[in-house]
Amino acid sequence: MLATTNSACLHGVTAHLVHVEANSGETGDPRVVLVGLPDAAVKEAIDRVRSSLVNSGFSLPRTRVTINLAPSDLRKEGASYDLPIAISLLGAIAKDVHHSMSEYLIAGELSLSGEVRPIKGAIAMALLAKKLGLKGIILPLASAKTASVVEGISVIGVQSISETYDFITGKKYLDPVQSRGEIFNFLSCSKNLPNFTDLKGQGNVRRAVEIAVAGGHNFLMIGPPGSGKSMVAKRVPSILPPPSHEELLEILNISSAVSGAAGEKSDLYRRPFRAPHHTTSDIGLIGGGSIPGPGEISLAHQGVLFLDELPEFRRSALEVLRQPLEDGEVTISRSAGKITLPAQFILVAAMNPCPCGYLGSREQNCRCSIPQVHKYRNRISGPLLDRIDIHVEALPVKIDDLQNSAKGESSEEIASRILACREIQSTRYKNINIKTNARIPDSRLEDFCHVNNSDALLLKQAMKDLSLSARAYNRILKVARTIADLAKSKNLEKLHILEAIQYRSLDRKFF
């Protein structure tokens, strides 16, 4: 008898349909043969399925059984095929299973006792089941809780192969897993984060980071050790606006593609903050490997990527950021396939002005030679610097500021202004597929960032004095648009443009 179930394979962060076919009653030795380009983990599924069926009280087929994972030209990886293989096997030897098997997409890893374990890619699979118009998706209970954020599809959580069998045959009814309401409670996720109220002084840096987050702009801090650069960066998550439902799906989809435990922690329900070490490789940063998968920039999608000690990263690793910073996605080609991964993030970077860190400091003398300083700075290329909208100098904190007991402005106050600014942008761009000023297409720049003749002359002079590129010119206008939105101004004014220009003044001062 032939029985077929629906499952899925993960390709990057996208799920593709896989039909698990089982045919019993064949002549030959009584054994199970698995075909369909499986990897080693999938081949081992036969032994896991056999033990789980026996320990769950099911009888094994006494004839030769062939199991095919179709399409056969798509490589199958991981242990998520255990459960659909087991159900297909039971369907091939029973008459009360296969009539409803095709209504659901099934995935899950089996233990030898018959219990099911979480899998990767639960959200991608739920999105696939919804797209295919299936009745629902059957997943391990922990993975089902993650997948339940996908609306319009029934997500069934199971804990064992016996429970799955009873549900498929109609012997047991299982309620669909409901999406948990607290995932949309942004305040409950953010109240324990480091707060800007702890930051002493650094008014210019505070202002710059508020503008960067409000408009989704990339942000670079340059200053000596101990000036508070890392302290500022670690407080950025506390002022990020809450993600929309669509953005939350994108964030959780990438998280679940990397870890089967995604969705079990409440901090996964806010925008991500990734801070890889400067020894991270190119592949670790952008993704890839023999089997292409997400890297740090994709894990930071819809959130923040913090690169501390920016010049200490490999030059090759920094240069691969150029395309994602421009396009909001990264395409990776390997022998195993080609994938395009989302990578819309705010880059927050920090660096010292020289190798010792004290160039220009009034407190300590710099120990670096001129060639050492030039070599250090030249690790960051002009094209990469061009893609960073805001550059700000973080000066050493004065002792009077450190001893001042007065608290600084809190993250909640800053976040409220940022949220109001994001709402202005959301209204303005509701008819085009962008969410922030940083993503304004160059073709629409004149529509949203129009400047009068006198301000145009001002920009022209700044281009000459700072030797800025056309890309830097466009980014100045986008930053000015955000400054105007924070001021609730409909039009760009001279003060907005002047402030945006001064955030590019470090281009020539340090480079």
Does 297 map to a domain?
yes
In the chain, the number of structural domains is: 2
Q: How many Cβ atoms are within 10 Å of 79's Cβ, its own excluded?
A: 19
pLDDT at 509: 58
Which pLDDT tens digit goes with each residue over 79-99? 899 999 999 999 888 766 655
Tell me: do 145 and 247 sit in the same domain. Answer: no
What is 169-209 written as a DSSP string? TTSS--PPPPPPGGGG-HHHHHTTS--GGG--S-HHHHHHH
Tell me: do 360 and 241 sit in the same domain. Answer: yes
**What's 382's domain CATH number?**
3.40.50.300
Does 438 map to a domain?
no
Mean pLDDT for 196-210 is: 89
Does 161 map to a domain?
yes
Does 493 map to a domain?
no
Instruction: State the Cα angle at 417 between 415 and 418, rounded to 5°.
Output: 60
Could you tell me the two tokens for 401? Answer: 């500021």
Mean pLDDT for 280-298 is: 86
Mean pLDDT for 297-303 is: 95
Work out the pLDDT band at 101, boundaries 50, 70, 90.
Answer: confident
- Any long-range contacts for 457-464 (C-beta under 8 Å, 24+ apart)? 458/494, 458/497, 458/498, 458/501, 459/497, 459/501, 462/501, 462/504
Q: Which of 110-114, 132-136, 398-402 has the lowest mean pLDDT?
A: 398-402
Residue 28 has pLDDT above 90, yes or no: no
Q: How many Cβ atoms are within 10 Å of 485's Cβ, its own excluded?
A: 23
Question: Which comes out higher in pLDDT, residue 344 or 335?
Answer: 344
From residue 191, alpha-carbon distances to 114, 187, 237, 466 in Å are 41, 6, 11, 42
Mean pLDDT for 324-348 is: 88
Q: Which of 135, 139, 109 is nearest to 124 (CA)?
A: 139
Residue 191 has pLDDT above 70, yes or no: no
Question: Which comes out higher in pLDDT, residue 54 or 185?
Answer: 54
pLDDT at 144: 93
Tell me: do 268 and 380 sit in the same domain. Answer: yes
Q: Write down which residue in 102, 137, 168 finishes a domain.
A: 168
Tell me: do 211 and 350 sit in the same domain. Answer: yes
Share of the chain above pLDDT 90, in %: 57
Which pLDDT tens digit goes with each residue over 140-179? 999 998 899 898 999 999 999 999 999 988 889 999 998 7
**Domain range holding 282?**
186-432+504-510
Does 265 map to a domain?
yes
From residue 444, alpha-carbon distances to 228, 251, 255, 348, 472 in Å are 37, 28, 33, 26, 16
Work out the pLDDT band at 365, boundaries 50, 70, 90.
Answer: confident
Distance CA 372, CA 367 (A): 10
Does 7 map to a domain?
yes
Tell me: do 110 and 245 sit in the same domain. Answer: no
From residue 461, alpha-carbon distances to 23, 51, 454 in Å are 76, 76, 11
Which pLDDT tens digit goes with each residue over 244-288? 888 989 998 998 888 765 545 545 568 999 999 999 998 899 988
Tell me: do 51 and 100 sit in the same domain. Answer: yes
Q: Write down which residue in 137, 168, 199 finishes a domain.
A: 168
pLDDT at 62: 83
Work out the pLDDT band at 399, boundaries 50, 70, 90.
Answer: confident
Which pLDDT tens digit goes with each residue over 116-131? 999 999 999 999 999 9
Which pLDDT tens digit goes with each residue over 470-487? 889 999 999 999 999 999
Does 469 map to a domain?
no
Mean pLDDT for 57-76 is: 89
Share of the chain above pLDDT 70, in %: 92
Secondary structure class of 359 (helix, strand, coil): coil
pTM: 0.89
Q: Write down which residue in 118, 140, 168 finishes a domain.
A: 168
Q: Which residues contact 297 (CB under 8 A, 6 or more apart)?
A: 285, 286, 287, 305, 321, 324, 330, 343, 345
Question: What's the whole-number average pLDDT of the chain?
Answer: 88
Are the CB atoms for 67 and 22 separated by under 8 Å? yes
What is 379-405 written as a DSSP string? TS-HHHHHT--EEEE-PPPPHHHHH--
Tell me: do 412 and 370 sit in the same domain. Answer: yes
Does 197 map to a domain?
yes
Residue 456 has pLDDT above 70, yes or no: yes
pLDDT at 404: 74
Q: Which of 109, 54, 14, 78 is nearest to 342 (CA)?
A: 14
